[in-house]
Structure 1
């Protein structure tokens, strides 16, 4: 009886959904008429200025004689070029994510003692409350690890006696604890999924205090806990490159918006996770890998540029892969000539591909990166150039590292919480107004009609 009632309601809801769609449609011409900046973007693609930050800067063009001139993309963390930052810690043979977290949170590069002390704090906070893993993660497995992260971040609120204290010392401690614990929640969430949904053996490795964030992820994720130095270096680099991207990306803007209400840290991070989960934001690298799977199964010769171009044309014509008309991993809202994160990641992706015997696959990625902008420019009207973005190679890197696809976006979250935390602190310190943009109503005025006359 209950199932038949539910089925009956589903049919009612289907009918109501058509009514909802009809009565929520807005004529696209009205957005132009009222000069609405849809997506907070100008018609030329520039973002609408809604705030100031000292944390991250995305630089992709210069203004010369009132003309916008695209330049190779640059990304700065606290004014330091991320390329220089990456070269610095890789040259020294050290891990970079912890140093990057310190820089983003506190505004300066740490000296050796400051970094060692900060790494010790992270190691000491890298644990979950007693029975948390058993009662909240293993007993409630989910097919989506981003859901696991959001749900358990909110659950941690109940274990914090000062959860609603928004003083800077308390917020910083909460953020550092979450930075330390995100890898555990995500990896254990995946292990629960793997065990209960895929019927695989359950592995729960405790983190090791002497390992870095990247090393602990590989240690906890792999059944044998083994990894090479290059693997750990590349995952660490990926974490650094995803840690921050200015205040205007969707999830960081969400962080500012929700923080401005005065709410707690756990609610803010859960909201940011909800934003990052979307395939238009954090889930894009999965689409890239799936697109290449389809491409590899359809191409007869991976070295034939003409055949690759023909496939890319089919993608744009909605005749291949998911019929979306998109070449995933190509193009960015800000960058046009190049995405610096992609440039850096590509160099090390090539090294790992050689180590793994996957040079042919890397060469295919490289050819698509070269050919796709040309194909797009020939078939689409564009206000700016396009290039490969960080998602283009990150999924390939994660695949080579043996990281399951269910973990791709959670890895992004493990990294980006460093930037979210810095922006939350910045919003609180500057005590801004509650963020509340304007929406213009275009509904026609109507009189109320008594129910018996409708």
Structure 2
């Protein structure tokens, strides 16, 4: 069978032959979960107590979420997130009322020091000079094969930029730095242009705004998104804070670890960043805020009185019992793989959520979020026999993006716009101090057997 242009065709059909092959696959691919304990496998690269297996060293970012006693008992504590040893909350606080700080954060992650005013100005000018795609790139790359998922379109765009680079495979640090800065500059452009192409494929009008060099990443993102290019100062500053808080989250998060693994092979920057994007797209990672929004839409539809804690508790119990929403048994946005007591990013974001909800007249919905957070955590702690549980930043970020007028299709791409700062810093670090291919070991549990000739099968 050959590929057909028409997407709505038999090419995508699950045929009886495919179902038969799937059944054949299932017969020989089951692994008993008991074997993981027998072989002492650290599933998810995590110890049984939940701590991550140490796989490397970094100076870029650090998470602190618990302390360990002499008896190796974990004591939950308020979460801390450090960028190059500086509390991320201080970066947000230091910029309040005077400037946007995502670019300052990116500089810190890359170069290890807070920039002087002159260094920051030069850095922003460098980023602005790179914030342009090759001639006809939008027409020839982004508009071709209208996107069903913007993350895939952005990955395609990143990989295609490889073809426009005269030194794409050069992994010397100065060349990789140049590539990282160019991709960092163009990530918001790729995200917005991919969205506009998607809108056009849905029958909407097409409008393309070029970024303005004097504006910050947050301002340009909103300007390019909106037909009239307008945005309020609170909107831009809230988005800037979101970018700061998502710029890095330690070296062990899935997409950053992917970046380290792929970089260790010696591959090019475009491939490494595209691989990180592929990881971030997953609903267990960067796509979590979209799941929160879908869950909250479902709660709004089925809970008749948002202020009645009993009604909220009843429906959340149905969700946990896999009797409602997506039948996963999960309350999205509550709990985190690393943070135990609080997620510092969420704590910073709360003030901006409150301000934006007041400006947009969304206090009733904010109260529902607060009820779901409080009651959901109580229910989860009872079931998991925990005394504390953190609220993930994903719980509120989707609501903030909705209040900013951002379409759901852009939630995860916006995460990538922020996280490429951390990916770039980690790629540079891996190239400079790694020097060894990352290759963990898998134990094969298949029995040895002889080859069987065709006439005896």
Q: 1:238 and 2:242 equivalent?
A: yes
Match of 2:398 among 390, 395, 398: 395
Matches within 5 A, 1:108-127: 108-127=113-132
Structure 2 spans left out of the alignment, 5+ residues: none
| SS of corresponding position for 1:74 | strand
State the Cα distance separating 1:72 from its structure 2 match.
Answer: 0.4
State the Cα distance separating 1:6 from its structure 2 match.
Answer: 6.1
Q: Which residue of 2 aligns with 1:71?
A: 77
Q: Which residue of 1 aligns with 2:140?
A: 135
Match of 1:418 among 421, 439, 446: 421
CA distance in structure 2 between the partners assigned to 1:395 and 1:94 by the alignment: 24
CA distance in structure 1 between the partners assigned to 2:12 and 2:165 by the alignment: 42
Q: 1:406 and 2:409 equivalent?
A: yes
Matches within 5 A, 1:170-319: 170-197=175-202, 199-319=203-323
CA deviation string 1:332-370 (max 9, x = no partner): 001111000011111111100000000111111112222
**RMSD of aligned Cα (Å):** 1.6
Match of 1:155 among 160, 163, 172: 160
| SS of corresponding position for 2:15 | helix
TM-score by length of 1: 0.97
State the Cα distance separating 1:171 from its structure 2 match.
Answer: 0.2
In structure 2, relative to structure 1, the CA distance for the partners of 1:381 and 1:446 (3 Å cut) is farther
CA deviation string 1:240-268 (max 9, x = no partner): 10000011000000000000000000000
Q: 1:32 and 2:57 equivalent?
A: no
CA distance in structure 1 between the partners assigned to 2:334 and 2:251 by the alignment: 22
CA distance in structure 1 between the partners assigned to 2:125 and 2:404 by the alignment: 26
In structure 2, relative to structure 1, the CA distance for the partners of 1:57 and 1:5 (3 Å cut) is closer
Q: 1:145 and 2:150 equivalent?
A: yes
CA distance in structure 1 between the partners assigned to 2:63 and 2:235 by the alignment: 28
CA deviation string 1:158-208 (max 9, x = no partner): 0000000000000000000000001111100000101112x1111100101
In structure 2, relative to structure 1, the CA distance for the partners of 1:12 and 1:201 (3 Å cut) is same
CA distance in structure 2 between the partners assigned to 1:230 and 1:160 by the alignment: 38
Q: Is the Cα–Cα contact under 8 Å of residues 218 and 232 in structure 1 kept in the other structure? A: yes
In structure 2, relative to structure 1, the CA distance for the partners of 1:53 and 1:234 (3 Å cut) is same
Q: 1:449 and 2:452 equivalent?
A: yes
Q: Which residue of 2 aligns with 1:104?
A: 109
CA distance in structure 2 between the partners assigned to 1:21 and 1:157 by the alignment: 39
CA deviation string 1:52-91 (max 9, x = no partner): 0000001001123333211100100000001111101124
CA deviation string 1:72-123 (max 9, x = no partner): 00100000001111101124x2101100000001110000000000000011
In structure 2, relative to structure 1, the CA distance for the partners of 1:381 and 1:22 (3 Å cut) is farther
In structure 2, relative to structure 1, the CA distance for the partners of 1:8 and 1:132 (3 Å cut) is closer
Q: 1:436 and 2:436 equivalent?
A: no
CA distance in structure 2 between the partners assigned to 1:317 and 1:407 by the alignment: 31
CA distance in structure 2 between the partners assigned to 1:125 and 1:105 by the alignment: 17
Matches within 5 A, 1:88-99: 88-91=94-97, 93-99=98-104
State the Cα distance separating 1:314 from its structure 2 match.
Answer: 0.9
Q: Which residue of 2 aligns with 1:86?
A: 92
State the Cα distance separating 1:324 from its structure 2 match.
Answer: 0.8
In structure 2, relative to structure 1, the CA distance for the partners of 1:446 and 1:381 (3 Å cut) is farther
CA distance in structure 2 between the partners assigned to 1:30 and 1:125 by the alignment: 51
Matches within 5 A, 1:37-48: 37-48=42-53
State the Cα distance separating 1:5 from its structure 2 match.
Answer: 8.9
CA distance in structure 2 between the partners assigned to 1:261 and 1:6 by the alignment: 35
Q: 1:326 and 2:321 equivalent?
A: no
State the Cα distance separating 1:8 from its structure 2 match.
Answer: 9.7
CA deviation string 1:349-408 (max 9, x = no partner): 1100000000111111112222211111222345x7322101001000000000000000
CA deviation string 1:118-142 (max 9, x = no partner): 0000110000001101111123320
Match of 2:24 among 19, 27, 33: 19
Aligned residues: 451
Structure 1 spans left out of the alignment, 5+ residues: none
